[in-house]
Amino acid sequence: MIACVLVVAHGFFTLFCFSRLEASVWNGLDEMDGKIADALRSLIETGLGDFEPINPIQQAIAHFITQRVNEGPIEARIVEHGQDGKFV
């Protein structure tokens, strides 16, 4: 009898805790939404500012990748191996 009462009490306590947690999450999301809106408004009003110049190494890597992409597909080569497991 006491165990049943404790199980029911624990169930109600768990539901109470989850309802409080849900309310806290929703309040946090509303607060975060407001902060994001303020940040976006501030960015639009003040501008994004100056960007730093492109790093020459990054520019060279981007150029290399662009060239490799434009070359087209790479021919695949099938490599077979012998009975002893070594590649022929």
Tell me how far apart the alpha carbons of residues 85 and 88 are, in angstroms, rounded to a whole number.
9
Q: Which amino acid is at 27?
A: N
pLDDT tens digit sequence for 11-53: 999 999 999 999 999 999 999 999 999 999 988 888 777 778 8
What is the reported pTM?
0.44
Q: What is the pLDDT of residue 59?
A: 94
> Which of 34, 32, 14 has the alpha carbon at shortest distance from 22?
14
Q: In the predicted model, what is the mean pLDDT of residues 44-64?
A: 87
User: Whose CA is closest to 42, among 34, 51, 50?
Assistant: 34
Give the model's pLDDT for residue 34.
92
